Amino acid sequence: MPEVAAVLLRRRRLVDPVRLTPPVRRSAWQWLRRPLTIQAGLSALQADLVERGFLLAVDLYRHCAGLSAPALAGLGSALLDLLDAESGNDAEHVPLFRGFPETVPVDTEAFYINRVFARLLQEPEQPCVLCGDTTTVHPVAPCAHLVCRTCWDGADLSACPLCLRRIDPADPFLQPAFDQAPPSPVRSDRLRLLSLAGPDAVRTTVESLLGRRTPPAAVDRADLQVLLPLAELSWVPSDIPVRETQALVLAHFLADEPAVIDRAGTATDVLRLLYVLMGADPGLRTPPARRRSLSRATRRQLLARLDQLPAELLIEDMLRHERAWKRMAEGLHPFEYAVLHPTAALAFAVLRRSDLDLETAAGQAVLSEAARYPLVRVENGRLVMRTFGSRVEGAFAEGRAGLALDLLRQRPGELLRRLVQLVRALPDDEHGELLGAVTVAVSDVSPAVLTAALGQLRTPPGDLRLFFPRGGTTRVWATVDEREPLPADTVAALSGVLVGEMLRRAGNQPRWRRAFLDEELARLAAPGSERGSSSTLRRMTRGSAVPIPPEDELRLFLHWVEPSRRRVDLDLSVAVFDEEWGFVGLCDYTRLRFDQDALVHSGDLTSAPAPGGSTEFVDLDLRAIRRLGGRYVLPVVFSYNDVPFDELERGFVGLMREPGALFDPAAVEERFDLSGPAKILLPFGVDLQTKELRWYDVNLSAGGYGHNVARYGGHLALMSAALEDVYGAGDRVSLWEVCCWHAAARTDEIAVRCADGTVVGYQRDPAEDVATFARRLIARLEPDRQWDQDAAARADFVGVLTGDVTPRPGAQVFALYPQLIDATAHSLIDAAYLLGAFAPDSRAHASVTQ
């Protein structure tokens, strides 16, 4: 099962040789007499892995050394193929100018004019319109444009120079390219260990996915579906926190274990299950492409579960997703079973505003059931109900915020989500009552809702306000924020309650002897919803930032393969803005060089036929851009001819740090898959003043034809300014705070690595309460002592940005860049686990692995 091996490798850097290639082991005496070809094969495999930025851990090396030569060759080949597919090294990266960046024309306009003249004026069997040569003009296949072999360099260009479309690789115009420079040696700080997967690797990975407390990205759902066929029901916790994940599990086990349907606690849980059964997104963002027919037994099973739910909650829940439930009703046929399941039939009658036919048994059953509920009434022969949400909204609209608060006390999660609205709506003298309600409610609320509420409280009104509408891709909208600031004393009191609850929950976790934290974690945002996130190599929450590398040289890459019989023209572009978001310049197909070498584009390719596809690069010299007055650098991917990304056979964009070759897999810092119905992707932005690269991962709305920087420059500046304003201010909860809450509540000794590399210590005095200790740790106030550099080796928990430390064996470790930290010797955890440990019921989080 290579798909399972691919999931373990990508998520946890564990190699499962059994699922990659069946190994053939030697006996002990054969081990002593093993042929030299085994050692030679191991050396070759290590060399190939180092080129990709990986090393074999000791346990995996020993396993490989015990394989036969054929088994080692099969394992090595499969392993390298998986790693290449992750980074994009499996694609053929041939830019328009094969000598990029040296051979890219300095004058883009002259290059364009020559192309236009040659395309419009060149005639067959006539002298070249550019040089006058009568023997060098020949058509190229398949576009048949007449190309002069003298004016256009077939050893440098990889496509037709006139239309910039890929041509037949066997066309005589394409001459052998000059030799590429040998790749540079891979730096040691780019290497990461590959470890041997243990017998419980699949189970711990499944349990980790099931225990997440934040909505998963599409890649997480896909990984879980790959692993579920190997899972057992005993692995599944009684409560799966994320309902999308629960729907996948229920759909998998439903046929063999019908009783699992009882775990669907709400109508929306059942709807998510229906979506999975019909092959759609359980996040309910997009409807099923086509409605699949369900068996009669399955329909009865689903209706029976709906019938067991309280009617008023059932109706209200269904009305939240009215259009989706109306589509599902066409396949469920609820009124066929109205006598058997009257509550379910009642809910659908309210949802669909059905006319009651009292002459039928179904109509009488529905009406009889409706009489049991005061909130359900008959109007003009149809059933209607006033929902909880409408009552809350009505209370706010009527200026009765006190009534809204009383209603929201019944639903703690909704109370926390509307916390800022309540603070603004309630009179100052009623803020004490709100504080009391929040104090009671916080014990039942998920940690993701608590951190979101805390971030909203602390974020003052600014110039712009962000909105992320639900949909198939992550889009962002901005508007002027004209709200009044919240009362400072109320914000402080409510924040204290929220933080106090997080500290209380952390205190219920196992104690640590010592913790080691990196203050660079303040750059990373606390985990949140990832429903619309792109599939990426490095998992970071939107708004997180990482330091710009000291070499100040970056290379962007874009690769795509178009579907058959449809041309797709993607463009990799870079826009540069100054301190006030004024436009400074750009680098795209209209300007291949920005100030000579500050930005260099590899050339515009306007098609990407299979199997090779097309690749575009842009080199960024950040020092040169700063000299030109640029501060913000925004890479953007445009679908020029308006083809959505989800129609591509394959597409991704990424970033390399100081590559040693044209495409250097060891230098790949990040890679974003192009997916969804979007046509413009803004993956990240670079702030040259703070020297940070901030993850945006948002799509812009687009319509029409000819998408480029010139058309969307103002929109890009507005969106990026809003993102920087919100995330760059540091008001939102960071991963540093999450780690500090854990450390302050679980240990009295904390070592902190400062930005300059020094290590200081914080120790809690017996008379100091945990909240005070956490505050001075988070604020990085005066430390209690200096600490030695090997403090991480004596810590039970290590939280760092870069894993350039040696943790104690068995320690829990969070590292965005794990480097040479061994996944089998340590418990490598992710940010979602750190937040999930604050769950009200910590028993649901037994797994600590990624």
Within-domain flag for 524: yes
For residue range 792-839, list pLDDT tens digits in order: 999 999 999 999 999 999 999 999 999 889 888 899 999 988 998 998
- Contact (Cβ atoms closer than 8 angstroms) between residue 264 and residue 305: yes
Structure tokens at 354: 């059905």
Residue 766 lies in a domain: yes
Mean pLDDT of 649-668: 92
If asked whether residues 737 and 706 sit together in one domain, one would say: no
- Pair 207, 236 in one domain: yes
Distances (CA, A) of 575 to 583, 636, 673, 717: 8, 8, 21, 9
Q: Is 636 helix (H, G, I), strand (E, B) or coil?
A: strand
Q: What's the rounded Cα separation, in Å, for the pair 549 and 268?
A: 46
Looking at the fold, whether 586 and 630 belong to one and the same domain comes out as yes
Question: Is residue 748's pLDDT more than 80?
Answer: yes
Q: Among 816, 811, 849, which Cα is nearest to 833's?
A: 849
Tell me if 99 is assigned to some domain.
no
Q: What's the total number of domains in the chain?
A: 4
Strand partners, 54: 192
Token couple for 15: 């190699």
Pair 668, 645 in one domain: yes
Only one residue has tokens 């934040």, namely: 214
What's the DSSP call for residue 177?
A: P
Give the CATH number, domain containing residue 717: 2.60.60.30
- Pair 719, 700: CB distance under 8 Å: yes
| Whole-Å CA distances, 588 to 73, 150, 640, 687, 696 | 43, 26, 12, 20, 20
Q: Do 508 and 568 share a domain, yes or no?
A: no
Domain boundary among 687, 706, 723: 723
Indicate if 740 and 714 belong to the same structural domain: no
User: Does residue 378 lie within any of the structural domains?
Assistant: yes
Integer Rg of the chain from CA:
30
Q: Is the pLDDT score of 843 beyond 50? A: no
**Does residue 625 sit in the same domain as residue 742?**
no
Q: Is residue 323 part of a domain?
A: yes
Within a domain: 43 = no
Question: Does the predicted model carry a pTM greater than 0.85?
Answer: yes
Same domain, 616 and 738: no
pLDDT digits (tens, 9 = 90+) for 397-448: 999 999 999 999 999 999 999 999 999 999 999 999 999 999 999 999 999 9
Stronger pLDDT, 111 or 729, i.e. the higher one: 111
AA letter at 345: A
Distance CA 234, CA 253 (A): 11
**Residue 314 shares a structural domain with residue 235:** yes
What is the end-to-end Cα distance of the chain in Å, rounded? 20
pLDDT for the residue numbered 769: 94
Contact criterion met (CB below 8 Å) for 703 and 677: no
Same domain, 791 and 688: no
Tell which of 723, 752, 785 closes a domain. Answer: 723
CA 791 to chain centre: 32
Query: Is residue 382 a part of any domain in this protein?
Result: yes
User: Are 113 and 132 contacting, i.e. CB atoms less than 8 angstroms apart?
Assistant: no
Apex 167 CA angle, 163 and 168, nearest 5: 165
- E-strand stretches of 62-214: 137-139, 146-148, 192-196
In a domain, 16, yes or no: yes
Residue written as tokens 């929040």? 438
Q: 272 with 319, same domain?
A: yes
Q: Which domain holds residue 16?
A: 2-34+55-81
Query: Which residues, in sequence order, are bridge partners of residue 325?
Result: none
Q: Look at residue 620 in the predicted model and tell me its pLDDT.
A: 95
How far apart, in Å, are the Cα atoms of 829 and each of 800, 823, 845? 11, 10, 12
Q: For the chain, what is the mean pLDDT?
A: 89
* HSE-CB for 729 with a 13 A CA cutoff: 16
The amino acid sitting at 28 is: A
How confident is the model over 95-140, as pLDDT tens digits? 999 999 999 999 999 999 999 999 999 998 899 999 998 889 999 9
pLDDT band at 844 (very low <50, low <70, confident <90, very high): very low
Query: Do 504 and 375 share a structural domain?
Result: no
Tell me what percent of the residues of the chain surpass a pLDDT of 70: 95
